[in-house]
């Protein structure tokens, strides 16, 4: 994680200090569960709770120094933790456990809490987009397919689709949260050989997790699903940002990103107001997509486990969460302050297309009057060619055409008729 795209709350969740703190809590909870089951003295478990250290920068530095000797991060953590407790009861730390019991369970706590942050932020973004959809449902603009004018739509219809896409992202994120809120404390290959299942259950319940069957590690399809859900949300933000980038182009000019006082769009050209937020969102989505592929590579491990996933996850899990949180917050700012140029959008629709956005309406009007569809298509296609060649409008060439008398001109060129169902798109949106 680089500071430029790292939200402070996500940084705190994935910090070494917080990770060690959760690992420490797992270790103490195990001791307490062992004591409750009569496996170790209750007094020792109480002593461990009382002596549980505060995890600070010195603790983190001591673990790093110890790891330089042990070349094993969890062993170094256990050594330092036992030293901090400095009491015979410390012998019960890590009793019956393997490294992944503590590492995986602690990481699932962190990922669950991190997803809560992501979900809250995507929910806020969705609410902003939905509100803009409702506010702009009556604001027309040209619909575009293949980047070309098609038929009219409205800003509200366009934004409503993004709001509903974020609804689906929230469903995926919620399911991923459920799948990752799990833990395991079943020992070296997951057989409970040196620790009883009820200990796992008790500790997981205390942490707000669900105990699940596992090998030495929790199955990595869960983590892959989490990263996919993040990548999907990132792709939705990218789609929204890409739409804004296209509509903001100089020759289109239908929207503008918010531009703060004192902001500069270019170091060389003072007039520039570049869509930098949208471009940044599009760029970062590529990174998160790459992490989804990498997470899938981590699913297949040797036998009951190997360690090939570990180094990967130290990079991609905090990065993916951080980037999607950052992107969602930027997208929320973008949509909150988005400037919509209604007049320019209407001008592009009516004048820029020279009425050709109504070509299907003319086609269907001729069909309604008994024309063969292909014949009607050729008639309107010829009219469109005439519009281009004479720099005219569809309305102007149609009224001069021999078939004009059979067409209801006012109805054919009614913008209101084409978007008359627009309010359907904002039903139950807020």
Q: Give the residue extent of every domain in the chain.
A: 3-92, 99-180+219-257+269-342, 356-412
Rounded Cα gap, residues 28 and 87, in angstroms: 14
Q: Domain 3-92 - what CATH class?
A: mainly alpha
Q: What is the pLDDT of residue 271?
A: 84
**In which residue ranges of the chain is pLDDT below 70?**
none
Q: What is the pLDDT of residue 272?
A: 79
Write out the catalytic residue numbers: 146, 266
Three-state SS letters, 355-395: CHHHHHHHHHHHHHCCCCHHHHHHHHHHHHHHHHHHCCCHH
Cβ 327 vs Cβ 239: under 8 Å: no
Where are the strands (E) in 269-341, listed by range? 339-340
Cβ 335 vs Cβ 125: under 8 Å: yes
Cβ 337 vs Cβ 258: under 8 Å: yes
Beta bridge partners of 142: 152
Smallest Cα–Cα separation from 393: which of 384, 403, 380? 384
Q: What is the pLDDT of residue 266?
A: 76
CATH 3.40.50.2000 fits 99-180+219-257+269-342, yes or no: no
Q: What is the pLDDT of residue 222?
A: 97
DSSP structure string for 147-187: TEEEEEEEHHHHHHHHHHHHHHHHHHHHHHHHHHSEE----
Q: What is the pLDDT of residue 402?
A: 77
Checking phi first, is residue 52 left (phi over 0); if not, alpha (psi -120 to 50) or beta? beta
């Amino acid at each position: 994680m680089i500071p430029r795209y790292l939200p402070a709350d996500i940084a705190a969740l994935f910090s070494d200090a917080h990770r060690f703190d959760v690992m420490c809590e797992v270790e103490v909870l195990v001791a307490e569960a062992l004591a409750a089951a009569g496996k170790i003295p209750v007094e020792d478990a109480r002593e461990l709770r009382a002596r549980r250290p505060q995890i600070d920068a010195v603790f983190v530095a001591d673990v790093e120094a110890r790891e330089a000797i042990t070349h094993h991060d969890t062993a170094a953590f256990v050594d330092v933790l036992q030293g901090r407790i400095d009491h015979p009861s410390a012998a019960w730390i890590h009793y019956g456990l393997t490294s992944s019991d503590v590492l995986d369970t602690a990481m699932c706590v962190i990922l669950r809490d991190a997803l809560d942050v992501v979900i809250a932020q995507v929910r806020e973004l969705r609410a902003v987009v939905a509100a803009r959809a409702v506010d702009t449902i009556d604001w027309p603009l040209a619909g575009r397919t293949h980047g070309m004018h098609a038929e009219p739509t409205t800003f509200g219809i366009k934004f409503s689709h993004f709001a509903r896409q974020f609804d689906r992202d929230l469903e995926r994120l919620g399911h991923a949260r459920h799948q990752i809120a799990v833990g395991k404390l079943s020992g070296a290959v997951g057989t409970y050989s040196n620790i009883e299942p009820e200990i796992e259950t008790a500790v997981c319940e205390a942490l707000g997790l669900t105990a699940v069957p596992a090998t030495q590690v929790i199955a990595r399809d869960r983590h892959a699903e989490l990263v996919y859900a993040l990548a999907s949300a990132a792709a939705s933000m990218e789609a929204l940002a890409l739409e804004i980038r296209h509509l903001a182009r100089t020759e289109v000019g239908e929207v503008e990103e918010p531009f703060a006082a004192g902001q500069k769009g270019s170091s060389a050209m003072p007039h520039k107001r570049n869509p930098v937020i949208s471009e940044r969102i599009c760029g970062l989505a590529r990174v998160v997509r790459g992490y989804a592929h990498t997470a899938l590579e981590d699913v297949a491990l040797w036998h009951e486990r190997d360690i090939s996933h570990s180094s990967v996850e130290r990079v991609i899990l905090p990065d993916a969460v951080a980037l999607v949180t950052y992107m969602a917050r930027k997208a929320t700012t973008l949509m909150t302050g988005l400037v919509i140029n209604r007049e320019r959008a209407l001008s592009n629709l009516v004048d820029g297309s020279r009425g050709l956005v109504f070509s299907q309406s003319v086609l269907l009007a001729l069909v309604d009057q008994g024309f063969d569809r292909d014949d009607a298509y050729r008639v309107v296609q010829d009219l469109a060619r005439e519009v281009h060649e004479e720099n005219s409008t569809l309305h102007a060439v149609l009224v001069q055409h021999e078939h004009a008398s059979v067409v209801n001109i006012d109805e054919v060129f009614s913008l209101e008729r084409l978007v008359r169902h627009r309010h359907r798109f904002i039903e139950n949106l807020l």
